[in-house]
Amino acid sequence: MPLSLLAALALGANPAPAPHPFNQQDLVTLRRLSSPRVSPDGRQVAYVLRSTDMEKNRGRTDLWLVNLDGSAPRQLTSHPDGDSDPVWAPDGKSLFFLSSRGGSSQVWRLPVDGGEPLPVTKLPQDVNSFVLSRDGQQLAVALDVRPDCADLACNTQRAAEAEKKKTTGQAYDQLFARHWDTWKDGTRSHLFVVPVAGGTAVDVMKGMDADAPGKPFGGAEEFTFTPDGKGIVFAARDVGRTESWSTDLDLFLAPVDGKTKPRKLTEKNRATDTSPVFSPDGKTLAYVAMSRPGYEADRFRVILRTWPGGQERVLTQDWDRSAGSLAWSKDGATLYTTANDVGQNTVFALDVATGKARSLTQGGSADGAQPAADGQVVYALDDLDSPADLYAMKADGTGTRQLTQVNKDALAGLKFGAFEQFNFPGWNNETVHGYVVKPVDFDPKRQYPLAFLIHGGPQGSFGNHFHYRWNPQVYAGRGYVAVMIDFHGSTGYGQAFTDSIAGDWGGKPLEDLKKGVDAALQKYPFIHKTKRCALGGSYGGYMINWIAGNWADGFQCLVNHDGIFDERAAYYDTEELWFPEWEHKALPWEKPESYEKHNPVNHVAKWKTPMLVIHGGKDYRVVDTQGIATFTALQRRGIPSRFLYFPDENHWVLKPQNSIQWHDEVLGWLDRWTRK
């Protein structure tokens, strides 16, 4: 017996349990770091840490602070209602943040050196997101209001009247009627300016029938104060009845007093313009823009606009990557961004003078890159066997240091599978990349069943990322080899590679997936040749249905999460119509053959593989009847099948207990068909 264990027993302490393979319970309960914000002096970083309350079946968030050298991490808030979205005051002595304490989401302020948080706003509507002016004197807050109301009192009155109504019918004159997981109720997200010291909230979008930030996922990155504090620049899709099939987000400028209507700044571009960020000297506005109307996966180029002059130049015309969030260096000579890059999400430094892009990180998925003191850059980073932590590096990408270890104790008790990237000749012999994650406690002399994960999007990537819904380590912990292929259409390999899937959903990607399995079997002899299952969600779920009829001997079982069964029907019951219109290059009544070309419903007669079908009742992107229809076809054909339905989940499964149930069902299904 080791001396350390003898000493522990002599002291009456319980020895630490042996590490166990990573599982779904661990996935749900690990703490999640997000929203890093560097202080004005660059020497501290505030961030949000999410923990899971299994009893209440929800996540809760708190604010934390760590020094730039990684010392003295400390928790700033601990309210049970949760705190998020930290923003530093200009003097660095306090943090503004969102909190639902008190029963409504409002902006609060907390001294970082000690003291109690105090409310800054007490508005009658929830604050969904906010930004602070450079001088710290004004807030711009996003509120859901009725655009025809003149003030917040009108909104309060209208909401009270709606509560008293005995009828439940909702009438619509144009799309959207519902979006993502929510039925429209006549309100819009509008930006209001309110003094930090208190005063009247002014709607700078009064009468505008548009949302800022955009629904359902837009946040504070879509609006900002002008450097002088006299205006707000924001992104909005103000296109009238074409909203559900238009990607024309524009940048607008509105005065903070709301006395004149917002002025459109990007009139010439009919595609998306968003994420405005001003340079430190206030002379340049940077933002990202697409160039092709109707295409949500077009490349985001970085645009620089002189302020207030308006002259523009494309900074990244020759850089074949799609820029993410933007942050200026202190001297205004560099823009930091992140982009998908050959299976990673990399921090890049963009030279403002030349547009030249330099990669600063080498592996994993980085996010939130921003400048700090002494020329350093702070960012969050995760990879396939590590959840996100904060890191700092020199401006040239050297001298990387880890600042936080938010899951140190939990990770000490876990075992992960080793992973590596591989590539092979895919469609047209073009190089296609993938990842393999080996089983925990891997033995090269054994053979293991295959869990073949197919990503959604389809313009997405299953890269070097610690995913909280589709994490291959859960399968590795169960004794499976997990393989993921970034087929044609995936992001991070150049825009032409991403574009290539349009009009060819079942063509190039299926060939890549077939060749990917063959390449993995040849390269990794420990993968069992016949014990294999394929799993996918969203587009990946569509591909599962397509595989069922077009690769019927490929797998022993299939798992379809929120996948399309009938492409033509899916057009009519989805919400964001620009997506199928671009992907199929036509309207279904004008060119129905484009929707039938790769339509799973036309191949049901060839189905024979057992399938688990999963769907959310609040999924309005791929509606639940698509999953029900899939299950109906399977049952009527006598194919072993199972239907798992979540009435309270949308396109994703988000509730902790539901996530565990999801994994229990999926892993049980894989075990049933591969452990014989």
| CB proximity list for 553: less than 8 A, separation 6 or greater | none
Q: Which residue has the tokens 């399938």?
A: 611
Based on the fold, state whether residues 444 and 397 are members of the same structural domain: no
**Contact status, residue 364 vs residue 352, Cβ threshold 8 Å:** no
Which residues have C-beta within 8 Å of that of residue 348, sequence separation ≥ 6?
321, 323, 336, 337, 338, 339, 357, 358, 359, 360
Distance in angstroms (rounded) separating the CA atoms of residues 478 and 562: 24
484 and 537 assigned to the same domain: yes
Q: Does residue 238 contact residue 210 with C-beta atoms inside 8 Å?
A: yes
Residue 93 per-residue DSSP state: S
Per-residue pLDDT, averaged over 411-439, amounts to 98
Residue 358 lies in a domain: yes
Tens digits of per-residue pLDDT, 152-166? 999 999 989 988 999
The pLDDT of residue 9 is above 80: no
Q: How many CA atoms lie within 13 A of 216 on its CB side?
A: 15
Q: What is the CATH number of the domain that holds 463?
A: 3.40.50.1820
- Interior angle at CA 194, CA 193 and CA 200, nearest 5: 110
* Type and span of the H or E element at 384: none
Summarize the chain as % helix, strand, coil (round to 5).
20, 30, 45
**Are 462 and 364 part of one and the same domain?**
no
Q: Which pair of tokens denotes residue 53? A: 């309350």
3-state class of 125 per DSSP? coil
pLDDT grade, residue 17 (50/70/90)?
confident
Whether 3 has a pLDDT exceeding 50, the answer reads no
| pLDDT for 556 beyond 90 | yes
The parent domain of residue 516 ranges over: 415-675
C-alpha–C-alpha distance, residues 15 and 574, integer Å: 54
| Nearest-angstrom CA–CA distance, 195 and 6 | 64
Residue 128 in contact with residue 110, Cβ under 8 Å?
Answer: no
The residues, ordered by sequence, that sit 6+ positions from 136 with a Cβ below 8 Å of its Cβ are: 89, 90, 91, 196
Domain boundary among 371, 405, 439: 405
How crowded is residue 363: how many other Cβ atoms within 10 Å of its Cβ?
A: 15
How far apart, in whole angstroms, are the C-alpha atoms of residue 148 and residue 131? 24
Residue 421 reports pLDDT greater than 50: yes
Same domain, 362 and 501: no
Q: How far apart are CA 448 and CA 442, in angstroms?
A: 9
Q: Considering the chain, what is the average pLDDT of its residues? A: 96
> What's residue 14's pLDDT?
66
What single DSSP character describes residue 558?
E
Is residue 452 within 8 Å of residue 535, measured between CB atoms?
A: yes
In a domain, 95, yes or no: no
Q: Which residues contact 331 (CB under 8 A, 6 or more apart)?
A: 280
- Identify whether residues 541 and 618 lie together within a single domain: yes
- pLDDT of 177 above 50: yes
**This prediction's pTM:** 0.96
Residue 5 has pLDDT above 60, yes or no: no
Would you say residue 236 lies in a domain? no
421 and 384, same domain (yes or no): no
Q: What is the pLDDT of residues 255-304, one digit of tens each?
A: 999 999 999 999 999 999 999 999 999 999 999 999 999 999 999 999 99
Tell whether 423 and 401 lie within a shared domain: no
The predicted structure's pLDDT at residue 557? 98
Within a domain: residue 587?
yes
| 175 within some domain | no
Residues 6+ apart with CB under 8 A from 575: 175, 176, 177, 178, 179, 180, 244, 620, 621
Same domain, 574 and 455: yes
- Please tell me whether residues 560 and 653 are part of one structural domain: yes
Say whether both 499 and 428 belong to one domain: yes
Report the number of distinct structural domains present in the chain: 2
Contacts of 124 (CB under 8 A, 6+ apart): 152, 153, 155, 156
What's residue 114's pLDDT?
Answer: 86
> What contacts 308, CB < 8 A, 6 or more positions away?
none
| CB 29, CB 55: distance < 8 Å | no
Has residue 250 got a pLDDT over 60?
A: yes
Q: Going by C-beta distance under 8 Å and a sequence separation of 6 or more, which residues neighbour residue 349?
A: 334, 335, 336, 357, 358, 360, 377, 395, 397
Q: Same domain, yes or no, for 561 and 440? A: yes
Is residue 556 in some structural domain?
Answer: yes
- What is the Cα–Cα distance from 639 to 644, expressed in whole angstroms? 16
Stretch 643-662: mean pLDDT, rounded?
98
- Do 349 and 384 have their domain in common? yes
How confident is the model at residue 7, as a pLDDT?
45
The domain boundary, picked from 405, 425, 441, lies at: 405
Catalogue the E-assigned strands of 463-514.
Answer: 481-486
Residue 390 is assigned to a structural domain of this protein: yes
For 51-98, the pLDDT digits (tens) are 999 999 999 999 999 999 999 999 999 999 999 999 999 999 999 999
Spatial distance between the Cα atoms of 467 and 150, rounded to a whole number of angstroms:
44
DSSP 600: G
Three-state secondary structure call for residue 263:
strand
How far is Cα 649 from Cα 223, in angstroms, rounded to an integer? 29
Name the domain boundary from 352, 386, 405. Answer: 405
Is the residue at 630 inside a domain? yes
Q: pLDDT confidence of 16, banded at 50, 70, 90? A: confident
Query: What tens digit of pLDDT does each residue of 24-55 get?
Result: 999 999 999 999 999 999 999 999 999 999 99
Residue type, 526: F
Structural tokens at position 611: 């399938």
Token pair recorded at residue 37: 């914000």
CA distance 386 to 100: 30
What residues form DSSP beta bridges with 46?
Answer: 37, 65
Closest CA to 341 of 453, 276, 421, 272: 421
Rounded to an integer, the average pLDDT of 295-314 is: 97
